Structure 1
Amino acid sequence: MADMNLWPIGNCQVSALIDSRGTFVWGCVPRVDGDPAFCSLLGGVEAPETGFWSIELENAQTITQSYIRNTPILVTRHEDATGNAIEVTDFCPRFVREGRTYRPTSFVRIVRPVSGSPRIRIRVRVATNWGEPAGRTHGSNHIRYLMAGQTLRLSTDAPVGHLTDENWFRLERPLNMFLGPDESFAGVLGEAAAAMLARTTDEWRHWVRGLATPLEWQDVVIRAAITLKLCQHEETGAIVAALTTSIPEHEGSERNWDYRYCWIRDAYYTVQALNRLGALDVLEGYLEYLRNIVDASKGGHIQPLYGVGGESTLIERIET
């Protein structure tokens, strides 16, 4: 099986899973049950050719990872044996803007030199249709990835040629990458990325401050609460069973279902756990989701599970 030591990031619209090397190995767009732009997690132990986003330090010896306190913002530090080091910060923007929660279908990566003269390589291999390489075009400050039914744009202040050619190059200043909808990025990318990082940090810490956490095991409880919160699709209030699909329950198991749906019963336990901590926003969103399901049923049968948008017609298929 692939490395299952994974770190989730997200904004309750999209999410991604990052492995112990700091590589995006899973992430769907435009929402949690969408087409995986990153799907190398499902490739097993074999090195995949596509479906990942890696930032590597040349001759790295140690990689350490941690979240910024009380957030799902991940910091990965790469070091080599001679003192060269870099730090990568990964997050999905989420904050209140003009009275509404801003949670775009976007992923932000900021890589900065920490010490020495580090050389890095950035590989962005977006997939479509469950593992096929997405088409690609590029301009002077962006790369477009042509997925089936949608196009993603990577806006960056990194040398685009180094990204498209996957060159090793010296990192002499912080570089910023914003992967999102196919729209021109307005403003100075570095300043905007720093502002989004600060506001996203504040937004998550504001949410955590509203939790009634116990004195014992507080850090663990908060981390679990944030992880459960990432399973809610805030637009509709749905709560998915997991952010992934096709991961066997254990090595060799054939029970590898798609858990990116809302099971009515299972979601209740998530709501119950978070409600005990005072996260009423999750309860309110889920109740709104349930009311819409009941209305759509017109007094008929309520299914065990629905899509995150309340879809009742769910077609099972096997992807190979």
Structure 2
Amino acid sequence: MYPRISDYALIGDEQTAALVGRDGSVDWLCLPRFDSGACFARLLGDEDNGHWRIAPKGVDGPCTRRAYRRDTLVLDTEWDTPDGRVRVTDLMPQRDRAPDLVRVVEGLEGRVTMHSTLRLRFDYGSIVPWMRRSRDHRVAVAGPDSVWLRSEPAVRTWGEDFGTHSEFTVGKGEKVAFVLTWHPSHEPRPPLVDPHEALRSSVRGWRGWVARCRYDGPHRDAVVRSLITLKALTYAPTGGIVAAPTTSLPEEIGGVRNWDYRYSWLRDSTLTLEALITAGYRREAEEWRNWLLRAVAGDPADLQIMYGLAGERRLPEMELPWLSGFADSAPVRIGNDAVNQLQLDVYGEVMDSLALARSAGLSTKPHMWSIQRSLLDWLRDQWRQPDEGLWEVRGGRKHFVHSKVMVWVAADRAVRALEEHKELDGDLDGWRAMRDEVHREVCEKGFDAERNTFTQYYGSSELDAALLLIPRVGFLPPDDPRVLGTVEAIREELGHHGFLRRYSSDGTTVDGLPGEEGTFLACSFWLADALHGAGRRKEAQELFERLVGVANDVGLLSEEYDPVDDRLLGNFPQAFSHIGLVNTALALFGGQEAG
């Protein structure tokens, strides 16, 4: 029996993250960064690809209950057994250059014997490290990686079957802590972390951070959990935000739509900034804006759709044949060849993000406007060519309507900047002319008058959920008949059991891939926004309620959802989905108080 993606919970330290299953097993962890090789890769293979399980001895199944501690990323997993009740608390405290995984076992009732099985496998489960003792530690070394395991002295520990095993008994009120710490193998052991103090300080730190949240409307718990997740997906040293901490979780069980999402996408930039600024997290918004400026600096012709955590540009894609994939969904990929695609929409995303940052009063940077001018000057000469579009299709370039709309956004934000900020300079007349030309062309070539809907690309009869963003970006007002017609057509043709697909994936579309995928959660949030903008508030709220209900038991969302099998699909947890939840909640309920 394969696990479900929803079986996992997230812990992290804003450098990397781990996924913890209902059975008490840490099945995914990349060290020391989100995009490093995994030392626990059972998520995409089997036990021999690395994992760390702590659970009552003889118990093979899931826990009795689990939950995050209120307003934190600290996870409590509990078991009720014939001998008593026990809790395992998992967290990753924040400190520089030495990621720690802390696991604290606490007896709640009776006396329970616990068993720990640790199998470290570096390089995505392919390398068995050399294990040795060093006083009160077990040390695993392979090449550049070193991991130190520390536990209580009274814990009996031994090696067996290329794993490290521990066994101990806890009574009511007794605690046993484990700390797993990574550091470069050529350096001395880093300072030790006190696991119990780390737990206390992590709880205080997260609750202090959540206290800054300005939202106090309905579903506040879901909004807060989404904001915590976005914070956890932030790479603190640079301010970059990964789309997800995982790679190759399938969009179709058994299919090939398996991609690496451990990078930062420009497509997320405006929506991320909006969520952070509106919810009260200006410092995080400014750090993301600053990451964006560093990443896009350079020749506008070299602008990429995604970058590494520090702005790295080379993200070569390859397959890992020794991993069978989640639920046998192969291939497992690392890196992402979509980095080489042309997506004209990202120019609009960057311009829109920087316009939002300026209007929100974030600190200005002296080079920000010069970067924007360079992007516009390049785009003015290049916007008429086809591209791969927002969804990174691998079936050839088209004149995607959403891409052209975002070209219009880029020109519009430049024009507005000159009109509102007289100290800025630029080609106001030329940019106005460009904006008007793009608008005319989209309305002529990207609109099907007979069906009263915009289409996926020029001359197409297909639809695209990204068209729901037309009113959001200001291309047309939400009550324009063409917008209303587009919303209805998308809802009817791309709707699936109350949710929304990105586009048709029946084999006749442009994505160039076999198979299908689930409904796309971010697009379903966009539909709620479009309905709200059209004055259909009740329908928007009902859809939002359904979307919140898709989250797993600890409030996490993946990229997609299969409403037939009630199954989360795609990389997990997905920033784009949680950004959608926050922004839609703020749009629907931002002015209301909880009741």
The answer to whether TM tops 0.5 is yes
For structure 2, list consecutive stretches of 5 or more residues without a partner in the other structure. Answer: 322-595
The equivalent of 2:132 in structure 1 is 137
| Distance of 1:149 and 1:184 partners within structure 2 | 14
Instruction: Quote how far apart the aligned CAs of 1:225 are.
Output: 0.9
Q: Which residue identity lines up with residue 253 of structure 1 in the other structure?
A: G
Q: 1:163–1:204: structure 2 CA closer, same or farther, 3 Å change rule?
A: farther
| Distance of 2:49 and 2:284 partners within structure 1 | 35
- Residue 247 of structure 2 aligns to a residue whose secondary structure is coil
Q: Which residue identity lines up with residue 51 of structure 1 in the other structure?
A: G
Q: Does the 8 Å contact 1:247/1:256 carry over to 2? A: yes
Off by >6 Å, runs of 4+ in structure 1: none
| Distance of 1:117 and 1:137 partners within structure 2 | 31
The equivalent of 1:157 in structure 2 is 152
Q: Which residue identity lines up with residue 282 of structure 1 in the other structure?
A: E
Instruction: Quote how far apart the aligned CAs of 1:2 are.
Output: 3.5
The equivalent of 2:116 in structure 1 is 122
Q: Which residue identity lines up with residue 56 of structure 2 in the other structure?
A: L
Q: Does the 8 Å contact 1:155/1:185 carry over to 2? A: no
Residue 110, structure 1, aligned to residue 104, structure 2: yes
Residue 58, structure 1, aligned to residue 53, structure 2: no
Q: Once the two structures are superposed, what CA deviation does each residue of 1:194-219 show, in whole Å capped at 9, x if it has no partner? A: 21111111111111111112321111
- Residue 120 of structure 1 aligns to a residue whose secondary structure is strand
Q: Does the 8 Å contact 1:93/1:107 carry over to 2? A: yes
Q: Does the 8 Å contact 1:3/1:19 carry over to 2? A: no
For structure 1, list consecutive stretches of 5 or more residues without a partner in the other structure. Answer: 95-100
- Residue 213 of structure 1 aligns to a residue whose secondary structure is coil
Instruction: Quote how far apart the aligned CAs of 1:298 are.
Output: 4.5
| Distance of 1:226 and 1:238 partners within structure 2 | 15
Residue 196, structure 1, aligned to residue 195, structure 2: no
The equivalent of 1:170 in structure 2 is 169
Q: Once the two structures are superposed, what CA deviation does each residue of 1:24-55 show, in whole Å capped at 9, x if it has no partner? A: 01110111000101110002xxx522410100
- Residue 53 of structure 2 aligns to a residue whose secondary structure is strand
The equivalent of 1:98 in structure 2 is none
Q: Does the 8 Å contact 2:155/2:168 carry over to 1? A: no
Choose from 261, 276, 279 the match for 1:277.
Answer: 279
Q: Once the two structures are superposed, what CA deviation does each residue of 1:228-283 show, in whole Å capped at 9, x if it has no partner? A: 21111111111111010011112122111000011111243233223221112221
Q: Which residue identity lines up with residue 131 of structure 2 in the other structure?
A: R
User: Percent identical across equivalent pairs?
Assistant: 28
Q: Does the 8 Å contact 2:16/2:31 carry over to 1? A: yes
The equivalent of 2:240 in structure 1 is 238
What number of residue pairs does the alignment pair up? 306
Q: Which residue identity lines up with residue 216 of structure 2 in the other structure?
A: P
Q: Does the 8 Å contact 1:13/1:104 carry over to 2? A: no
| Distance of 1:234 and 1:168 partners within structure 2 | 36
Instruction: Quote how far apart the aligned CAs of 1:292 are.
Output: 1.4
Higher normalized helix content (fraction of residues): 2
Residues 1-320 of structure 1 correspond to what in structure 2 (within 5 A)?
1-4=2-5, 5-43=7-45, 47-60=46-59, 62-80=63-81, 82-94=82-94, 104-132=98-126, 133-159=128-154, 161-165=156-160, 166=165, 168-171=167-170, 173-182=174-183, 184=189, 192-295=194-297, 297-320=298-321
- Residue 212 of structure 1 aligns to a residue whose secondary structure is coil
- When the two chains are superposed, the root-mean-square deviation of aligned CA atoms in Å is 2.1
- Residue 250 of structure 1 aligns to a residue whose secondary structure is coil
Instruction: Quote how far apart the aligned CAs of 1:19 are.
Output: 0.7
Instruction: Quote how far apart the aligned CAs of 1:58 are.
Output: 2.1
| Distance of 1:186 and 1:127 partners within structure 2 | 24
Q: Does the 8 Å contact 1:241/1:260 carry over to 2? A: yes
Q: Which residue identity lines up with residue 145 of structure 2 in the other structure?
A: Q
Q: Which residue identity lines up with residue 178 of structure 1 in the other structure?
A: V
Q: Which residue identity lines up with residue 206 of structure 2 in the other structure?
A: W
Higher normalized strand content (fraction of residues): 1
Instruction: Quote how far apart the aligned CAs of 1:300 are.
Output: 4.3
- Residue 181 of structure 2 aligns to a residue whose secondary structure is strand
Q: Who wins on radius of gyration, i.e. which is larger?
A: 2
The equivalent of 1:97 in structure 2 is none
